[in-house]
Every structure is written in C-alpha cells, then in structure tokens.
C-alpha cells in the first residue's frame, strides 16, 4: 500500500460564483443562453472541463477573450479537494475527498481486468441508519452538490493524469454506492449522472452507470421518468419483519411497494433485456439461513433481476459478524438452483482497508468534523461467481 498526501487542484470557493463543474448539458446551455451567449459556448465549456480536465477559465482558448473575462467575474470551475489518496497492492485506489465546509467523503476505484469501477458518494453521511452500515452510524451532515459528485469522477481521472491521454478510459463504470442515499439527493445526483452519460462530458453508456438505493420509493418513481441508468436495490432481507430491523426505511416503503416500483422502472426502459441488481448483505445468523434464501427466491420470482451477495464487512461499532464461506456458498446454491444469476462480491483493497480506519481517524481528528468512514471493501463493486 502506498499513500500520498492531499492534492489540491484549485483554491477554495469564490464568493457568489457559479461552479460550472456541476452543470448538466441542459443547465449549461441555459446558463449561456441567459448570458446572451450561443448554446455552442456551453458545449465548448463542457468539453474543456470534462474532456480536457481544464479548470482555469483563462485557458479555455476557443471562448474568445471577452467571454472569458465575463465568465471570470461570475463563474468558476472547482472540483472538490483530495484530502488523501491510498493505493492498494491489488490496484484499488481510494481517496478521502474534502468537500466545501470541510466534510469528507470516500471515493474508490476498483480495477478488474479491462474494467475499472468508480464508487462515488452522494452525501456526507446518511440519514437512513441501516443497522449494518457504518455510514448510517455517523449520521447525516449534508447533501453533496452536483459539482462535488461529478468532481469525484473528475478527480479520479485527473489523479492518473488521464484527461485526453489517449490511453483509453481510466474509469469504465460508475456505481453510486459510496456514502449516502443517492435518491435523497435527487436533483444533484441526476445532474451528475447526466454528465456521466453525456457525450460532451464522460460519455459512459447507461448500462455502465448504476444507482444503488435502499428503497426511497417516491424518488425511485421519479427516477423512472428522467433516467435510464442501471438500478441496484439494497434488499438484505426476504420479508418485511426482518427488513424493518435492518433497513428502517422499509417501515415507510415496504418490500411489495419497493419491488413494484422496481418493476415499473424496468418496464420503462427502452432496452427490455435489462435487470435490477438485488444487493443482499449476508450477516451471520441474521439473514443467511437457507430458509431465508428459499424465501428470497420465492419473493423475487416475478422480478427481472440478478442477485449480488455481499458478505458483511465488520466495523468497530457493530456486533454483526461476517458469515463463513460455507454459509455464503449454501445461500448462493439455493438461489442458483432456483434459476437466478448470483454473484458474490469479493473483498478488494484489503491492505488499504486495514489502513482506512486510521486514515480517516487522522483526518477526522484534524478537522474534528466527521465520523468514521466505511472500509473500502464495503463499497467494493467487484463481483465474482462462486462455486
């Protein structure tokens, strides 16, 4: 493992300036139209920021001197700041990202073969308090802005010096599985995901951008109207009684309502072959019994889905335990026999995971603002099939 200290690409916020980094294509076009400029100026700026990695408006040479001067007075391009960066011996890279006001969030890049998946945070902390999640334990501080969300992707590419490097993509997939509940920060998450898909920005296919939710049903219904990204749902239990304990938002939006909303999301997709990913964190003695696997198989029968089993990752404030490899295999087998495609999430970045608590502990001590951070392997999106 290697660690590098903080890197800052830009000074702190400038009073009253619009941060162009977080504007979607439509918002950027409107911004320039409102300034009395042509739409194509918006496209030029998008390319400078997201294709070229340029943050200095002075350097956007094709804008013309007078437009640059005008923009310098009212706008800025400001990514969040890297508080620290760690490299695992297996290629996983993890950042603690400092956002406006001093809060910290985690971003993780997990390379695997010819893919590299970036796990992005959407909030500082989380208000939903799922019983097995350390982000939930630290409470909720605030929503990230769209600039702070897309800025994590920008920073990841920048850290490899890979803007327009011609070496292919550094990040091939994005999962909204870092800190926070993305659907509770709806507008900013949608704007950032628009930029991920936008050809003038990152140009990722909708299959390669995944939003994970614990089940905020009204917001998921809204998402159906505006986005076609891939959907992952954190289910973790085969019935309401258990899910009410593990994922408290289930008391408001129970399983039947959530699965109905998932079905509607899939039905609205133009590509009818897509499926929901059901995430199921396996906790020893709580939700890993073979009977619960059978109940889950029955529950999901009418849903076009695949299932991702995530062995629980331990953290200091939790008494839950990770199940044995045998228990995971038994659970997996029941689901496979019932005809499901089932993957098991591997643990990556073990060495930086070990250092993760220390790293964040140090940062927290210095800033005195945030709580503990979840280990890298909690949000590891690498998946394999066991058996």
Backbone region of residue 105 per phi and psi (left: phi > 0; alpha: psi in -120 to 50; beta: other values): beta
Instruction: Provide φ and ψ at 371, rounded to 5°.
Output: -90, -155
**What's CA 116's distance to the chain center, in Å?**
14
Nearest to 200 by CA among 313, 24, 55, 46: 46
Map residue 211 onto helix, strand or coil.
Answer: strand
**Least spacing, CB of residue 258 vs ligand SAH, in Å:** 12
Contact call for residue 152 and ligand SAH (CB under 6 A): no
Tokens of 52: 């070229």
Q: Which is nearer to ligand SF4, 71 or 220 (CB)?
A: 220
Among 28, 57, 119, 126, binds ligand SF4 (CB under 6 A): 126
Segment interacting with ligand SF4, rule: CB under 6 A, options 32-40, 70-78, 133-141, 152-160 = 133-141
Q: Which does 129 bind (CB under 5 to 8 A by kind): ligand SF4, ligand SAH, none?
A: ligand SF4
Among 86, 212, 277, 292, binds ligand SAH (CB under 6 A): 212
**Least spacing, CB of residue 152 vs ligand SF4, in Å:** 16
Contact call for residue 266 and ligand SF4 (CB under 6 A): no
Nearest to 320 by CA among 281, 277, 294, 366: 281
Site for ligand SAH in 71-100 (CB under 6 A): none
The C-alpha atoms of residue 61 and residue 44 are separated, in whole angstroms, by 10
With beta carbons less than 8 A apart as the criterion, state whether 106 and 179 touch.
yes
Nearest to 268 by CA among 319, 226, 303, 239: 226
The C-alpha atoms of residue 133 and residue 179 are separated, in whole angstroms, by 10
Q: Which is nearer to ligand SF4, 103 or 136 (CB)?
A: 136
Among 81, 148, 181, 194, binds ligand SAH (CB under 6 A): 181
Tokens of 148: 């702070």
Contact call for residue 107 and ligand SF4 (CB under 6 A): no
Nearest to 81 by CA among 58, 57, 105: 105
Contact call for residue 262 and ligand SAH (CB under 6 A): no
Pairing of strands 230-234, 342-345: unpaired
Among 214, 292, 313, 382, binds ligand SF4 (CB under 6 A): 214
Contact call for residue 373 and ligand SAH (CB under 6 A): no
Please enumerate in sequence order all residues whose Cβ is within 8 A of that of 173, keeping only pairs 6 or more positions apart, or say none.
Answer: 115, 116, 117, 118, 204, 208, 209, 210, 381
Contact call for residue 265 and ligand SAH (CB under 6 A): no
The C-alpha atoms of residue 172 and residue 339 are separated, in whole angstroms, by 29
Identify the H or E element spanning 154.
helix 146-159
Map residue 251 onto helix, strand or coil.
Answer: helix
Contact map string, positions 221 to 240, toward ligand SF4, x by CB under 6 A: -------------x------
Give yes or no: 262 in active site.
no
Contact map string, positions 165 to 184, toward ligand SF4, x by CB under 6 A: ---------------xx---
Contact map string, positions 314 to 353, toward ligand SAH, x by CB under 6 A: -x--------------------------------------
Give yes or no: 126 in active site.
no
Longest dimension (CA), the chain: 69
Contact call for residue 130 and ligand SF4 (CB under 6 A): yes
Catalytic residue (choose from 81, 106, 181, 279): 106
**Least spacing, CB of residue 328 vs ligand SAH, in Å:** 12
The C-alpha atoms of residue 242 and residue 273 are separated, in whole angstroms, by 31
Residue ranges in contact with ligand SAH by CB under 6 A = 132-133, 177, 181, 212-214, 234, 279, 281, 310, 312-313, 315, 378-379
Catalytic residues: 106, 356
Residue ranges in contact with ligand SF4 by CB under 6 A = 126, 128-130, 133, 135-136, 180-181, 214, 234
């Amino acid at each position: 493992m290697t660690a590098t200290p903080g890197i800052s690409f830009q000074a702190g916020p400038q009073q009253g300036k619009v941060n162009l980094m977080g504007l979607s294509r439509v918002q950027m076009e409107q911004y320039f139209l409102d300034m009395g400029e042509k739409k194509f100026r918006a496209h030029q700026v998008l390319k400078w920021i997201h294709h070229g990695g340029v943050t200095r408006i002075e350097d956007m040479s094709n804008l013309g001197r007078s437009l640059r001067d005008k923009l310098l007075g009212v706008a800025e391009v400001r990514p969040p700041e890297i508080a620290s960066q760690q490299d695992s011996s297996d290629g996983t890279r993890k950042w603690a990202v400092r956002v406006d006001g001093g809060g910290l969030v985690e971003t993780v890049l997990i390379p695997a073969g010819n893919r590299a998946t970036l796990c992005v945070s959407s909030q500082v902390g989380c208000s939903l308090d799922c019983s097995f999640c350390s982000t939930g334990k630290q409470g909720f501080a605030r929503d990230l802005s769209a600039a702070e969300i897309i800025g994590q992707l920008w920073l990841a590419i920048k850290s490899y010096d890979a803007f327009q490097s011609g070496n292919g993509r550094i990040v091939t997939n994005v999962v909204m599985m870092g800190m926070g509940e993305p659907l509770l920060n709806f507008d900013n998450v949608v704007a950032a995901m628009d930029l991920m898909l936008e050809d003038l920005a990152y140009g990722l296919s909708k299959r390669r951008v995944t939003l994970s939710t614990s089940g905020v049903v009204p917001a998921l219904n809204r998402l159906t109207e505006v986005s076609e990204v891939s959907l992952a749902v954190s289910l973790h239990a085969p019935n309401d009684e258990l899910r009410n304990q593990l994922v408290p938002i289930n008391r408001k939006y129970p399983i039947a309502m959530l699965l109905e909303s998932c079905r509607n999301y899939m039905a609205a997709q133009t590509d009818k072959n897509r499926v929901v990913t059901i995430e199921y964190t396996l906790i020893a003695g709580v939700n890993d019994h073979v009977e619960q696997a059978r109940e889950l198989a029955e529950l999901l029968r009418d849903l076009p889905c695949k299932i991702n089993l995530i062995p629980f990752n331990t953290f200091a404030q939790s008494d839950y335990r990770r199940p044995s490899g045998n228990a995971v295999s038994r659970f997996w087998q029941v689901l496979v026999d019932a005809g499901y495609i089932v993957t098991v999430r591997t643990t990556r970045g073990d060495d930086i995971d070990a250092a993760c608590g220390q790293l964040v502990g140090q940062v927290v001590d210095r800033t005195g603002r945030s709580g503990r951070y979840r280990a890298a392997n909690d949000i590891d999106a690498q998946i394999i099939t066991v058996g």
